[in-house]
Amino acid sequence: MALTGPQKTVVQTVGVVVLMGSLAWASVPFYDWFCRVTGYGGTTGVAEAAPEDILERTVTVRFDASKAKDMAWEFKPVERQMEIRIGETGLAFYEAYNPTDRPIAGQASYNVAPYSAGGYFQKIACFCFEEQVLQPGERVQMPVSFFVDPEMVEDLEAKYVHTITLSYTFYEIDLPEGYAALDVQADTNKN
């Protein structure tokens, strides 16, 4: 059975709407994947271990910390900067403190500047990979283990980078289910 002109137009229109909806749905995970693979927008990579090749050339890594407007924690780098050899594993710490009387969960987003270094800045382990929960009055030091990939010195743009800034921003998120129940119980005990 052949479609008439108006029926064909409706089917084509519905097809376009479904296609556009599918592309919109897939765009966020695709963009995230693209940024992680290419380092676009200062997105860092994730590695299992540092390379065996350590160059004599050094790079200064600066550490920056900020928080969302409604985040009650105090958050700062323990050390403001360090100089490491390209390919060498670095270990830095950030400190978070919950000055409130309630548990607060947080998640860190991150990026690297300049953007051209993003694909070469590799994290081995990081507090930013998981959500963090701080109890009232709790202070913690959270580690990030990283290296700068030696392939950076071959990149036309990145090979001239001498300083890299690693920035984290903490956002408050909902407490995990088990913590939420404890928070409700604590509120009940207060009353």
Distance (Å, rounded) from C-alpha 105 to C-alpha 178?
12
71 vs 157, higher pLDDT:
71
Domain 58-174 has CATH 3.60.15.10: no
Q: Phi, psi (5° rounding) for residue 50?
A: -75, 155
Distance (Å, rounded) from C-alpha 130 to C-alpha 176?
12
123 vs 191, higher pLDDT:
123
What secondary structure does DSSP assign to 123-142, as a single string? EEEEGGGS-EEE-TT-EEEE
Predicted TM-score of the model (pTM): 0.71
pLDDT, one tens digit per residue, over 138-150 is 999 999 999 999 9
3 state SS of 50: coil
Distance (Å, rounded) from C-alpha 125 to C-alpha 144?
6
pLDDT, one tens digit per residue, over 35-45 is 444 444 445 56
Percent of the chain with pLDDT over 90: 58
pLDDT band at 9 (very low <50, low <70, confident <90, very high): confident
pLDDT, one tens digit per residue, over 23-59 is 565 544 444 444 444 444 445 566 677 778 899 999 9
Task: Please give the pLDDT value at position 28.
Answer: 40
Provide the strand spans (E) within 1-156. Answer: 45-46, 58-67, 74-77, 81-85, 90-97, 104-113, 121-126, 132-134, 139-148
